[in-house]
Structure 1
């Protein structure tokens, strides 16, 4: 090879390398980065893990994750959406926020979904809860009601039987006989961590079934009522006498860990936990798991809640097409199948689609499947309370002011649980704060 040929070869190589680099720069410049805000629940951790599949199929989209504890997520996402901060392109929000934020024009519609997505397959209560004026504004990642979990071995030792639908008095009796703090086994675990979606999610259903409610049909606040006092007193008595120490710090994830580790005899919480506590890879009591419906007291309705963790796209996002592409992927039948095939069918996101409960692989892997489907289908956000009410929602009141009211009430209930307040003081404080908020918002003159 002569000198001239070598020079021409080097020039050609340089030009080719420059072309490749330029092409890479173009690809990188065209890549859309989406910031996804989600809660640190187990199903969302799986979504984050499997999202690499989405990125491989969509190399023009890159996902950046912000995974937060539930109360922190709600605070940050609410602040960002209200101020149009634009930090996030995909939000994890729930049945409470969707219709309120849709009315405010804060989140984008999902009104042109493809036939492959199969909207009709989404369970009707879940679909309706994520709609405003008949249009979907978020797509459900998983949905849940609430139920009772218990250790069959411990209940058997008591000589008692857990009914299919226990009363709270029966729960208390069984918990009292299971309770063995010397061996770090506690009769019952319940949410104590303050927050409208933490302790008040559970306590609201308890208030419902004891005959109480947040507001009456004329928007009068009903927190300082005999029914609330009875429910809250019963709740505190259960946790103080038969619960673990430090219960006021325990939310869904903390109680899930304790129950899965064998430290709780009874746990009343979200149906979504069923797949986690039944999975031997994540639970020491998977072979000792029993389940029943959420307990009732004097009123049979409103004891099991209705909730969906859903994915929405804020109006402030400038990346609507890419964001919606990810949301439809993460909430699709195909994604549920992907989880089933990679993580095991017992881990598939529950509660959203009829096809999941028609899937023999899922039903065989999850013996609680039909039970959970029934709990979701029968939860009624309209006819929830013994006396007529003015709001929609089982474990929350579907008004913008409730987030603040529920949060403050949760703090006072936690104070009563730790003994910083009496039950009467806590109810009076919560009642006053709620009445003030409702007056300022114009519900009451």
Structure 2
């Protein structure tokens, strides 16, 4: 069952990331002239990324709603609803008339769909990671939970590969006319497979125990904020660099390259190679977090991003393919994996089971909004205002990397084998430390009795 759950969760995550990456790629390549026509191509790209950011604005609300739903009704039910919302939205974009056909209603319809998608995505990632983590054995939780994260590179590679294929086989006119719709319409297949598998997956045994013992939280979002507010804030801080880095190195770099006249095809190919390697490095980083701890692994990735950001843009500016490929591999295959893999176990381990889904959703979606959604809009604006100067982007990544490292230092280590047990009772009761203290007190009392 663990393998089925992991596969089902990975497919759902792939569908989620497919949505955001197919839109992000299209925003750079075609959405400017199709939905936001402007005399300045960069203005059209900026408008397209503004719509991209709108999707992130709805994610925290979706996280709150589906986090509550997941803690009250079940992880599986929430995941079935979210994959339908995200998948149908992506398919609908492929059917939208463009600005030339219906005028202002085209970008308005695009924005409405993006809001609905963001709402669905807000509950997808937390529930998918949580379902797998709650099935996994404690000693290998980092590895098995990281398998869900493979949905991110898979969700990026499929639309990127499709756009690369379309770009190689179609003329620019054909791509702008109808070719761009193909990746959006093709999402229906991925969603259908994910939905079929999820319907055949059983509910988390831990949530089933919570329901059976009637320990379900009445207001999980309120409870988690009241009891774990500081933990949520530090978790959001930890999330920032991972959310920022992947958006920067897979999508923003295309807009940056476009402003500098660097071949889009070459940049996209180097990104695809680096992301493909993540299919190997993410599980390795997850297994590493089981051995040396979640925090140590995550901090190493955050600091690597800080160290790499200047060489990264120097390589991009050089236009040298070998140099660009090297920094892409270091930043994405190594740096991003070291951040992305351990958080799949770290964030669930920060909360007790009865409010776990709500806690993860808040960290994940607020962190994604600030690190990736805001970045997508801000970065393209900075590129426009500075005429392609990379200094502002370098500072942005470096600051977020330091913030994430400091936040991680402030969080407890949660890997069970690094602390002789879980931080909280994994099955939905009270904190491990409370139970341990109670047992110690009981033992002392027994010894003291004649």
**Would you call these one fold, judging by a TM-score over 0.5?**
no
Structure number having the greater helix percentage:
2
The two structures have a TM-score, normalised by structure 2, of: 0.27
Structure number having the greater strand percentage:
1
Decide which structure has the larger Cα Rg and report it.
1
